[in-house]
Structures are given as structure tokens and as C-alpha cells.
Structure 1
Amino acid sequence: MHIASHMDVDKVAFTGSTEVGREIMQAAARSNLKPVILELGGKSPFIIFEDADMEAAVEQSHQAIFYNQGQMCVAGSRTFVHESIYDEYLERAKTRAENRVVGDPFKPGVEHGPLADRNQYNKVMSYIRAGKEEGARLVTGGERVGRKGYYIQPTIFADVQDDMKICREEIFGPVMSVIKFKTVEEVIKRANQSEYGLGATLMTKNVDTINTVTRALRAGTVWVNAYGVLTPSAPFGGYKSSGFGRENGAYALTNYQQVKSVIMPIYNPTYL
């Protein structure tokens, strides 16, 4: 928080954890009240409706949580699946996870590398233990891979409930939490219950569902039948504990501008 405390620093833009973001805000307040932009943690919902393309839903949701071993702020770590396709989805997701190629990420064809360090490995393993202890059903994974490096198997928990630790807290690791839902109204409410609001995804062919859900979700970026697609022209940032301010696009420029009003009289000889 050294830079955020400096009186001669006019602004701070930070990407990282919610905990550090709070400390930066405190340091900015104690110094010169410098404005801050924060792009912080996430617990993004990935919602699969009953009419979704199953093959695409399995692959997109797989990449949403296992890409970069889940070490992403927008990882789709809460996978909501409609009850009518729940069992089929789990079977396919399990097969895809178990076929994910784990190994040296510098080798061609490898999809899944190690976590960043020992601390992150220990943190993720503690969440896996918590999932088991709280009653979630371990579908696949949950173990270390090999003895060298901090590799963890792609892990899937089913029958996850909203109050479970693995559903509430950001894990930042390869752990998918699969949650069953019935209605559009229900899944909107449950998706929005998180303290985070960075990203969200929905898979459906129904235009009415798309229009309703994209407007209702409290997330800075909502993907429809896709995941993780970003462009420099599209603003990116979060709601709630995922931060505030936006990167990219014209909105990002306003974060680095300050408005000034200049007021003067129109020329009149009486003023001379």
C-alpha cells in the first residue's frame, strides 16, 4: 500500500484481490483522497438452461473454470445447470475433465499446468477439503498430480448449495461447483446472491431468456453462448466486491479525466 499512501500520487488503478483492494482504498483515504479504480475478485455464475447446446455448454463451462487452472478473476466457478439436463451435464463434464491433459505447460498439447506457488496450492486443497466436509459430492478430481510442482486435478463438485464455502468464496483454482436450478427467476436470484459481480455466462437459445437474464444479472460482463471473449472496445470491470471503474473502451478514459468548470462574464464595457 506504499504507493497508495503517497501524497504526490494522484490516482491508483489496481487489479488483484478484494482484500488488497480494500487496503488500497483505506490508504488512499488516509493520504490525499486520491481516486482509485479496482478490478478485484469474482465468483462468476455460468448458467446452462435446458435448451442449451449441450456440447458447447460442456466445453465452454469447462474452459471457464479450468483455463489457467482457474487462476482467473472471471473464472466461471459457479456452474448452474437446469434440473432437466443436470445428470447428462455432469456425466459429460466429468468425462471432459478427466480427459484434460495435465502436464508441463510448455509442451504442445498440454492444457493444464501447475498452480502459482505452494501457498495457492495449499489454499485450493483446503477448499477441496471444505467441499467434502460440507456435503458436496465429489464427481472427479480433488487430488494432487505427481510429486513435483503444484498440480491439482481438474475437480468437479456436484449438488453444491449456496451456503457452502466453495460456492461463496473465490477459490482461484481448478474447482467447479455444479448447482441445480429450476426456474429463470430462481437462478437470477441465486446468481446475484454472491458478494462478487465481475462476470457471468448464460447458455440458451431463447431470446426472451437472454434479454431477461442479461439485464437482471449484477455483473460487469455477461457472455451469451460464449465465455471469456474480450475486446479493447468493450468496458470491463465489476459490481459489488469485484470493484468499480472500467478498463477498456471509451468508459475507461473517463476514469483518468477530471471535470473542470470555467465561468466568466460575457464581455460588457461596464466590467472595464
Structure 2
Amino acid sequence: MSRSSESAPRTKADWQALASSLSIESRAFIANEFVDAASGETFASLNPATGDTLAEVASCDAVDGERAVGHAREAFNQGEWSRLAPGKRKRTLLALAELMEANKYQLALIDTLDMGKPVGSSLGDINGAIACFRYQAESIDKLYGEVAPTGDDTLAMVLREPLGVVAAIVPWNFPLMMTAWKVAPALAAGNSVILKPSEKSPLSALRLAQLAKEAGLPQGVFQVLPGFGHTVGKALALSMDVDCLAFTGSTGVGKQLMQYAGQSNLKRVYLECGGKSPNLVFADCKNLDQVAKHAAAAIFHNQGEVCIAGSRLLVENSIREAFVEKVVDAAKAMQPGDPLDPESFMGAMVDETQYRRVLDFIRQGAEEGARLRVGGTPMEGPGLFIPPTVFDGVLPSMTIGREEIFGPVLAVFGFDSEEEAVAMANDSPYGLAAGLWSQDIDRIMRVTRRLQSGQVFVNNWAGGDQTMPFGGVKQSGNGRDKSHHSLEEYSELKSVWMSLAT
């Protein structure tokens, strides 16, 4: 299906009708053409809510990677995009954003069918992706170089130039939004970009490629290689002609990519990896009913398949019993439903592997002595649905209190003092996000500064927009998405020292 604009689907029946007319592109996008993988191999993309096969997708490998890298390098060296005036790059990227806007319901539907998330959530993701392309496009012609202070006989300048070839490897949980966070600033800065979407949700990336071609991106500037991490992903990471890896995914894979960079050409590696984010609730916070709803949404949104999910809930013991009851009540109202129903808060787990993994963690939680308050049993019927699950009385030594589950499982801890809360929050190899609920401004300032996290949400969860950098510390990674800071990652500094003396 290809149309320039769409009417807004409002009901489940509307989304089902749109799905019935959907035409899915499943081939790789190399040098502005959709092609089969060189090997002819494919893999099945499944709808996790039904088990139906959506498409047989091209399974790229090292041969396809080498070909795409060659086209990317050629495009960069020719300069049709890399040396184009920033204002002209801006116009092309804004045209792409407009095409995404015109096709946003289709894009949201593709992510819902491919990944299992509720369509309302997918639509929010697409709006975020569009906003990212617009923000980065508008930023690129407003960033200035520098003139260093020197004597009259010298002119010293600091220039920003594109890096070259960027390989972006993105996850399955927010397919198009994570793609935008990497691709938009890398393109805006003038790079050639090769996108490797997750094999669990590759389809919206291929639709984006169609729109990018329509918007006028030159040949070789943006390419999409569906496939697996151990084949085409590894090939891109080891390529001597890729200048930068931008990755969002697990900490384990992030470490592998850094090794590959060292084994090849010391390419830059920007990582946004795992998280086990603490959400601290102090007894002095107002409106515990609303805070409990926010705490539940912080972990159960997107089926808990969120890198910054508030999976560790730390509650002051003086209010813990009453507060956990409120969280349980909120969780009961967030049951999974048909992803095509706009009223569904949660959808299906992305695939059988993740489904079984989450159930194993739930089993471990019960075996290690945590108190199961709600959930824990998969839903009957077709599809990979797990309801919101809450464990209380979790200890820092328990598996569910330390490991990133990436599913709808909340671990609740108790604390008696601010010092204990901060120590417990920081007792993790991760540092992607943290939340803090309090009305004491002195405490807010103290705790915010002491939390070892790339981002802290005070009296909210997951707040922010395109103006705020997104990323972590410790084993949650080293990169930053969004904001002007992401443009810095995809550009190189060049120092120019001119002698003016004759």
C-alpha cells in the first residue's frame, strides 16, 4: 500500500481494515533499490499477537554488508549529500518528515503488527520519530563553528565535518522511533547511513526507506539491511570502511561491538544499552493514588519491553503496604489486549524467546522468596501475552531485583532512610534512568545529584522531549540520543590554523 495521505483510523475495525489492505516491502534497500539478499535467504517476520507470518524478509549477510558499505563510501566521497549545504539537507529531511506524517497510521500499524505493541503506543512512537527528524533537520543549519582567540597574524578555526559511513543497529521494542534517534542526526550531519533493524521488527525501517527515496535522498546515502546480528551486524561492526557504530540494545551485545571496533579500525562506538531503573517513592510525596498509577505505567508500558522501564520500585517502608496495594490496583487495570484495539494499554511480547525468558524470571522470583502480588501467569488463548506482574519483598540479591527482565515484571523494595534508598538505587551495574517522587525540594536536589544515572525524572516518569539528551552511564552505555548533543556524535572536529603573515 502506498498513498500520500491517510484518514485517521479510530476504532479496532478501522485498524483491521487498514491492515487488510497493507502491502509490505520485505527486501533489503541497497543503492536506492529494493533487492533480495545476495544469498537468497529469508527469515519469517511474525505477528506475536496471532502467530501469523507477515512477510519473508531478506536475510542479509556479510556480502550484502560489503556491498552497502561500498555504496555508502562512494556516496560520501562524491559529496552529493556530505558536502551539500546544511540548509539543503534540512529541506530534504523535512520533506521526509512530511512523508512520514502523511503515512503515519500505516507506519504505526506496521510496528504494531511486527512487534506486538498496542497501536495507540505505536502511533505515539511514530509521532516521536517525526518530531526527531524535524528537530534534527531544523538544527543542522543553526550550529556554528568556532574562531579561536589568536593574535593578528593568525586565524584559527574549529570546523565540524561529517564522520563518513555510520552503521546504525537498532532494537525491536521501539522500531521506528529508535531508528529516527540514530538516523536523523547522522543524516543531518552529512553522513551516509546503513541501518540494520532488529530481525524481530524490521518492516517499518523498510517502509522508511521507500519514503526516504521519495523524499530525494541520494543513492547510497541511506540503506537498510535486515538480517541477524551475528551475520550482517557483525560484518558492519568489523568493516574497515565503517567510521561509526550507533547501537541501542543489550549490554552484552554492546560489549561485543566495542571489541569488533577494536579488532578493525577503531571506529567510534556509541552505545545505549541495558537498564534496571530505580523509581524512588518517599512518604512525603503527594497524591499516592496518582503516583501509584505512574509507577505502574513506568514498568508496564510497552509490555515492560523498555530500556528505561521503572522495574525497581523503591518505597519508604512507612507507606509501602498501602502504596503497593495501589500499584496492584493500577496494574489490574493495565491488562494486555488486542494490539489493534486503541483501548489496549499492553500488547503481546515480541516473540516466543522473549515470552519464555520473562516467564523464567517470574518463576525465579517465586523460587527465591519474593511475594507475588498480582499476575505471574500467562494469558490463555493465542498470542504471547503476559499480564502485569508485581513482586513485593524483593531483596537486592534476588535475580529479579538485579537482572534486566525486559518484560512486565515489577520488583518492589522497601527502605527506611534516604541514605538507604540512594545506596540501593545505585547498587546496579546499570545507570540509564531513575525516578524520584518527593515534595521536599532539599531532598530532591540531594538525591538527584547522588543518583548514578544518565537521566533522572522528578515527580514524573520518562518526561522529556527532543531538546533533552537520552542515554546512560556505567554499563548502560556511553552515547546520547536526541538534542544537539547527538549531532556532535556524528561529526568530527577539524582544527585549522592559518598563518596570515606574509
TM-score norm. by structure 2 comes to: 0.52
Counterpart code for 1:192 = N
Q: d(CA) in 2 for partners of 1:199 and 1:30?
A: 31
Determine whether 1:142 maps to 2:376: yes
- Secondary structure of the 2:413 match is strand
CA contact under 8 A between 2:283 and 2:318: conserved in structure 1? yes
Q: Tell me the amino acid that sits aligned with residue 155 of structure 1.
A: T
Secondary structure of the structure 2 residue equivalent to 1:104: coil
Q: CA deviation at 1:264?
A: 4.6
Aligned residue number for residue 244 of structure 2: 11
Answer yes or no: is 1:127 the counterpart of 2:361. yes
Q: Tell me which of the two structures has the higher relative contact order, counting C-alpha pairs closer than 8 angstroms and 6 or more residues apart.
A: 1
Q: Using the alignment, how far apart are the partners of 1:56 and 1:183 within structure 2?
A: 23
1:74 counterpart = 2:308: yes
Aligned length: 268
Out of 396, 400, 409, the residue aligned to residue 166 of structure 1 is: 400
**Partner residue in 1 for 2:184:** none
How many Å separate the matches in 2 of 1:85 and 1:137? Answer: 17
2:453 equivalent among 216, 219, 223: 219
Cα displacement (A) at 1:261: 2.6
Separation in 1 of the partners of 2:385 and 2:498? 66
| 1:72-98 per-position Cα deviation (integer Å, ceiling 9, x unaligned) | 000000000001100101111111212
Q: Indicate the SS of the match to 2:496.
A: coil
The one-letter amino acid paired with 1:136 is A
Residue 169 (structure 1) shift: 0.5
Alignment of 1:45-56 (within 5 A): 45-53=278-286, 54-56=288-290
Alignment of 1:116-265 (within 5 A): 116-265=350-499
CA distance in 2, matches of 1:233, 1:200: 19
Is the CA contact (8 Å cut-off) linking 1:101 and 1:109 kept in structure 2?
Answer: no
CA offsets 1:217-263 (integer angstroms, 9 cap, x no match): 11111101111122111011010110002111122222122223333
Partner secondary structure for residue 244 of structure 1? coil
Give the 3-state SS of the residue equivalent to 1:261 in structure 2. strand
CA distance in structure 1 between the aligned counterparts of 2:270 and 2:329, rounded to whole angstroms? 41
1:36 lines up with 2:269 in the alignment = yes
Question: Aligned equivalents of 2:242 and 2:324: distance in 1?
Answer: 50
Q: Which amino acid aligns with 1:73?
A: C
Corresponding residue for residue 179 of structure 2:
none
1:91 to 325, 339, 346: 325
Residue identity opposite 2:242 in structure 1:
V
**Letter aligned with residue 262 of structure 1:** V
Cα distance in 2 between the residues matched to 1:144 and 1:185: 38
Higher helix content, 1 or 2: 2
1:154-204, CA deviations, whole angstroms, 9 ceiling, x for partnerless residues? 100000000110011100000000000011111111101110000111111
Check conservation: 1:144, 1:153, Cα contact below 8 A.
yes
CA distance in 2, matches of 1:20, 1:245: 15
Largest Rg, 1 or 2: 2
More moved, 18-27 vs 166-175 = 18-27
Q: TM-score, normalised by structure 1?
A: 0.96
CA drift at 1:211: 0.2
3-state SS of the aligned residue for 2:492?
coil
One-letter identity of the residue aligned with 1:226? N
| C-alpha separation in 2, matches of 1:260 and 1:86 | 55
Q: Distance in 2 between matches of 1:106 and 1:218?
A: 38
**Distance (whole Å) between structure 2 residues aligned to residue 248 and residue 110 of structure 1:** 28
| Gaps in structure 2 of 5+ consecutive residues | 1-233
Cα distance in 2 for partners of 1:209, 1:68 equals 31
Taking the aligned partners of 1:209 and 1:84, their CA distance within structure 2 comes to: 17
